[in-house]
Amino acid sequence: MTRARVEDGELSPYRQMAIFTGNSHRGLAEQVARHLEMHLGEVEVFEFPNEEVFVRYLDNIRERDVFIIQPIVSPVNTRLMELFVMIDAAKRASAGRITAVIPYYAYGRSDKKDQPRVPVTARLVANFIEVAGADRVLTMDMHAGQIQGFFNIPLDELTAFPLIAEHFRSLHLAAPTVVAPDVGRAKLARDLAGRIDADIAIVDKRRVGNSSTAEALTLIGEVGGRDCLIVDDEILTGGTVASAVQLLRARGARSVRVACVHPVMAPKAFQVLDMPEIDEVVYTDTLPVVHGSFKNVPVTVLSVASLIGDAMHRIHTGGSVGALFR
């Protein structure tokens, strides 16, 4: 594995980079560190018997450029608290700069007041991260781009869709059609279709109340005899994707593949999506999949570790993060 290289900005005002992780996804953090030819820093992150989170850095981090890798995964509220406390402890240990690396930003779906008397929790979490003392955020494919604006500190948002596009391109499908499983993903589907020279179709989905039940109602676009690629930012219960799959098959799709960046995957998702109508499920390793596995559906996991590592190296050295996608 070669060290990430940048064309510009080889100077960093911070003496040394240091990478730490809490208890969310050590495997990913280790891969990122390996990609950068570094070791993870030593830190204790644990809960007391009363569930209070405690953190202690065992390495000196004074004036270091500290990166804390912590996707917000199950148990979500504990992992969030770990992130806040790790940031606070790093600040009090005189870190030079603290970047919260959050490959999966939970609570992203609560990004607007779309009914009376509800919170905007995505904004609340952003406030907590800032108040804890983070100087920057590095994240990936948030539920909605405007969540970037909830932060008053610099935020870099990476995307895994070029990786997903590359995977689909490598399959050399005869008649690919990228399908948005709801209108909110139409732009995403169009971008991906552009990358792999495919057509697009859009499913009109309706959620039943605030429950996780999703209904695919209508389809815009042609899918008969086509190789359909459903793309979404995340899969939680699998309901959105399952109803889209059924609709596509009913309209004569030849094959159906499903891809998402964040496999949040509640246990139920493995029953809901273990269906013969699905030819492949593709997701990345922004989060660990711990609540089950598929018995019948082939799964492809694409790693985002080198992408995150390259972005961290560019942040450290003042290189362009955007250039990673050009």
Buried-state track 111-131, b at ≥16 Cβ within 10 A, e below 16: beeeeeeeebebbebbeebbe
Q: Taking a C-beta distance cutoff of 8 angstroms, is the pair 288, 70 a contact?
A: no
User: With 0-12 CB in 10 A as exposed, 13-18 as middle and 19+ as buried, what is 139?
Assistant: buried
Beta-carbon contacts of residue 226 (< 8 Å; ≥ 6 apart): 175, 176, 177, 199, 253, 254
DSSP H helices, the chain, are: 26-35, 76-92, 121-132, 161-170, 186-196, 239-250, 267-272, 305-317
Q: Out of 71, 96, 103, 239, name the contact with ligand R5P by CB under 6 A.
A: 239
Q: Is residue 268 annotated as a catalytic residue, yes or no?
A: no
Q: Out of 87, 90, 164, 214, name the contact with ligand R5P by CB under 6 A.
A: 214
Q: Which of 91, 113, 187, 205 is catalytic?
A: 205
Q: How far is the CB of 123 from ligand R5P (least distance, A)?
A: 17
Fill in the per-residue mask, 99 to 118: x = in contact with ligand R5P (CB under 6 A), - = not in contact. ----------x---------
Q: Out of 4, 236, 311, 315, name the contact with ligand R5P by CB under 6 A.
A: 236
Fill in the per-residue mask, 169 to 188: x = in contact with ligand R5P (CB under 6 A), - = not in contact. ------------xx-x----
Size of the site for ligand R5P (CB under 6 A): 15
Buried-state track 298-311, b at ≥16 Cβ within 10 A, e below 16: eeeebbbbbbbbbb
A 10 A CB-CB count for 109 gives 13
Q: Out of 12, 212, 246, 271, name the contact with ligand R5P by CB under 6 A.
A: 212
Q: How far is the CB of 94 from ligand R5P (least distance, A)?
A: 40
Is there binding between residue 246 and ligand R5P (CB under 6 A)? no
Q: Taking a C-beta distance cutoff of 8 angstroms, is the pair 227, 198 a contact?
A: no
CA–CA distance, 271 with 7 (Å, rounded to integer): 47
Is there binding between residue 238 and ligand R5P (CB under 6 A)? yes
Q: How far is the CB of 297 from ligand R5P (least distance, A)?
A: 15
Fill in the per-residue mask, 30 to 69: x = in contact with ligand R5P (CB under 6 A), - = not in contact. ----------------------------------------
- The encoded tokens of residue 313 equal 């190296």
Q: Out of 240, 284, 286, 317, name the contact with ligand R5P by CB under 6 A.
A: 240
Q: How far is the CB of 114 from ligand R5P (least distance, A)?
A: 12
Give CA separation, 92 vs 102, 125, 128, 179, in Å. 21, 21, 16, 48
For ligand R5P, the closer of residues 82 and 232 by Cβ is 232
Q: Out of 99, 110, 237, 255, name the contact with ligand R5P by CB under 6 A.
A: 237
For ligand R5P, the closer of residues 32 and 164 by Cβ is 164
CA–CA distance, 117 with 122 (Å, rounded to integer): 15
Q: Taking a C-beta distance cutoff of 8 angstroms, is the pair 176, 157 a contact?
A: no
Interface stretch with ligand R5P, choices 12-20, 57-65, 125-133, 232-240 (CB under 6 A): 232-240
Binders of ligand R5P among residues 286 to 315 (CB under 6 A) are none
CA–CA distance, 48 with 81 (Å, rounded to integer): 13
Binders of ligand R5P among residues 125 to 164 (CB under 6 A) are none
Interface stretch with ligand R5P, choices 32-40, 62-70, 120-128, 234-242 (CB under 6 A): 234-242
Helix (H) or strand (E) holding 136: strand 136-140
Chain-centroid distance of CA 187 in Å reads 17
Q: Which residues bind ligand R5P (CB under 6 A)?
A: 109, 181-182, 184, 212, 214, 232-240
Instruction: Write out the catalytic residue numbers.
Output: 205
